Amino acid sequence: MNSSSESAESIVVRISGPVVTAVGMRRAAMYEVVHVGELGLVGEVVRLVGDRATIQVYEDTTMLKPGAPIRCTGAPLSVWLGPGLIGNIYDGIQRPLPGIEQRSGAWIQRGEKVNPLDLDRRWPFAPTVRPGDTVAAGQVFGEVPETTLVRHRLLIPPEVAGRVKSVVAPGECSLRDPVAVIETPGGDRTISLMQRWPVRQPRPIRERWRVGLPLLTGQRVIDTFFPMGKGGAGAIPGGFGTGKTITQHQLAKWSDAEIIVFIGCGERGNEMTSVLREFPELKDPRSGRPLMERTILIANTSNMPVAAREVSIYTGITLAEYYRDQGLNVAVFADSTSRWAEALRELAARLEEMPAEEGFPATLATRLAQFYERGGAVTTLAGELASVTIVGAVSPPGGDFSEPVTQHTRRFIRCFWALDTELANARHYPAIHWLQSYSEYAENVAAWWEQRAPGWSDLRTEALTLLQREERLQQVVRLVGPDVLPDSQRLILFIAEMLKDGFLAQSAYHDKDTFCAPERQVALLRLILTLYRGGRDLVEAGVPLARVRQLPCVPKVLQAKETFGNDELSRLEELEQRVRDELAALAKRSAQEDRQDV
Interaction residues for other proteins, span 139-198 (CB under 8 A): none
How large is the C-alpha radius of gyration of the chain? 28
CA 88 to mean position of chain CA atoms: 17
Which x/- pattern, by CB under 8 A, does the window 203-232 give for other proteins? Answer: ------------------------------
Q: CB-side exposure of 258: number of CA atoms within 13 Å?
A: 20
Name which of 127 and 239 has its Cβ closer to other proteins: 239
248 binds other proteins (CB under 8 A): no
The count of chain residues that interact with other proteins, using the rule CB under 8 A, is: 75
CB 124 within 8 A of CB 332: no
> Does residue number 270 form part of the binding site for other proteins (CB under 8 A)?
yes
The span of 9-17, 145-153, 188-196, 209-217 binding other proteins (CB under 8 A) equals 9-17
CB of 160 to other proteins, least distance (A): 35
229 or 316: whose CB is closer to other proteins? 316
Neighbours of 198 (CB within 10 A): 16
- Applying the rule CB under 8 A, the residues between 523 and 552 that interact with other proteins are none
Crossing angle for the helix pair 553-563 and 569-597, to the nearest 10 degrees: 170
Q: Minimum CB separation from other proteins for residue 93, in Å?
A: 14
With CB under 8 A as the contact rule, the residue among 108, 211, 291, 313 that binds other proteins is 108
CA–CA gap between residue 575 and residue 553 (Å, rounded)? 8
Q: Which of 89, 129, 463, 529 binds other proteins (CB under 8 A)?
A: 89
- The values of phi and psi at residue 489, to 5°, are -80, -35
Q: How far is the CB of 243 from other proteins (least distance, A)?
A: 10
> What residues numbered 489-508 form the site for other proteins, per CB under 8 A?
501
Q: Does 66 bind other proteins (CB under 8 A)?
A: yes
Instruction: Give whichever of 321 and 346 is closer to other proteins, judged by the CB atom.
Output: 346
Q: Is residue 301 involved in binding other proteins (CB under 8 A)?
A: yes
- Say if residues 129 and 169 touch (Cβ distance below 8 Å): no
Q: Least CB distance from residue 559 to other proteins, whole Å?
A: 8
Residue of the chain from 50, 398, 475, 596 that contacts other proteins (CB under 8 A): 398
Q: For other proteins, which is the closer residue by CB, 303 or 577?
A: 303
- Cα distances (angstroms) measured from residue 560 to each of 25, 220, 224, 574: 67, 14, 17, 11
Q: Between the CA of residue 123 and those of 96, 119, 129, 285, 305, what are the distances in Å? A: 19, 10, 18, 27, 34
345 part of the interface to other proteins, by CB under 8 A: yes
Please state, in angstroms and as integers, the Cα–Cα distance from residue 358 to each residue in 34, 238, 280, 394, following that order: 31, 19, 41, 16
When the beta carbons of 1 and 479 are compared against other proteins, the nearer one is 479
What residues numbered 12-51 form the site for other proteins, per CB under 8 A? 13-17, 21
- The smaller minimum CB distance to other proteins, of residues 215 and 334, is found at 334
Q: Please report, as a single letter, which amino acid is at residue 146.
A: E
Element (H, E) at 466: helix 456-480
Chain positions 250 to 269 lying near other proteins, rule: CB under 8 A, are 264, 266, 268-269
For residue 47, the minimal CB distance to other proteins (Å) is 16
Separation of alpha carbons 335 and 392, rounded Å: 6
Question: CB of residue 486 vs other proteins: minimum separation in angstroms?
Answer: 15
Candidates 133-141, 280-288, 316-324, 344-352; binding stretch for other proteins (CB under 8 A): 344-352
User: For other proteins, which is the closer residue by CB, 66 or 171?
Assistant: 66
Stretch that binds other proteins, among 251-259, 394-402, 535-543, 564-572 (CB under 8 A): 394-402
Neighbouring residues of 529: CB distance < 8 A, sequence distance ≥ 6: 459, 462, 463, 495
For the CB of residue 272, give the shortest distance to other proteins in the complex, in Å: 4
User: Does an H or E element contain 581, and which?
Assistant: helix 569-597
| Under rule CB under 8 A, residue 399 binds other proteins | yes
Q: Scan residues 350-369 and list those touching other proteins (CB under 8 A).
A: 352, 355, 358-359
Q: Are 299 and 90 in contact (CB under 8 A)?
A: yes
Residue 446: strand, helix, or coil: helix
Among 400, 540, 567, 581, binds other proteins (CB under 8 A): 400
Q: Could you tell me where the beta strands, DSSP code E, fall in 185-310?
A: 187-192, 195-198, 207-209, 214-215, 228-229, 233-237, 259-265, 295-300
CB-wise, 324 or 345, nearer to other proteins?
A: 345
CB of 181 to other proteins, least distance (A): 38
The nearer residue to other proteins, 67 or 187, going by C-beta atoms, is: 67
Q: Does 273 bind other proteins (CB under 8 A)?
A: yes
CB nearer to other proteins: pick between 130 and 478:
478
Please identify, using beta-carbon distances, which residue of 66 and 542 lies nearer to other proteins.
66
Q: Which stretch binds other proteins (CB under 8 A): 8-16, 119-127, 382-390, 536-544?
A: 8-16
Long-range CB contacts (within 8 A, 24+) of 101-109: 108/304
C-alpha–C-alpha distance, residues 215 and 212, integer Å: 10
Tell me 504's DSSP state. Answer: I
425 binds other proteins, rule: CB under 8 A: yes
Nearer to other proteins, 46 or 179 (CB): 46
Residue of 1, 49, 106, 169 interacting with other proteins (CB under 8 A): 106
What is the smallest separation between the CB atom of 501 and other proteins, expressed in angstroms?
6
- What are the distances in angstroms from CA 566 to CA 238, 246, 426? 30, 22, 27
Pick between residue 60 and residue 573 the one whose CB is nearest to other proteins.
60
**Chain residues 460-479 in contact with other proteins, contact rule CB under 8 A:** 477-479
Backbone angles phi, psi at 48, to 5 degrees: -125, 125
Q: Which residues contact 518 (CB under 8 A, 6 or more apart)?
A: 216, 223, 449, 452, 453
Task: Confirm or reject binding of residue 555 to other proteins (CB under 8 A).
Answer: yes
Q: Which is nearer to other proteins, 377 or 496 (CB)?
A: 496
Minimum CB distance to other proteins smaller for 38 or for 540: 38
Alpha-carbon distances, residue 144 vs 154, 359, 493, 578 (angstroms)? 8, 48, 57, 53
CA distances 476 to 436, 471, 480, Å, are: 20, 9, 6
Q: Where are the alpha helices (DSSP H) in 265-377?
A: 269-278, 306-324, 337-350, 364-372
From 137, 251, 146, 207, select the one nearest 386 (Cα to Cα).
Answer: 207
Considering the rule CB under 8 A, would residue 329 count as an interface residue with other proteins?
A: no
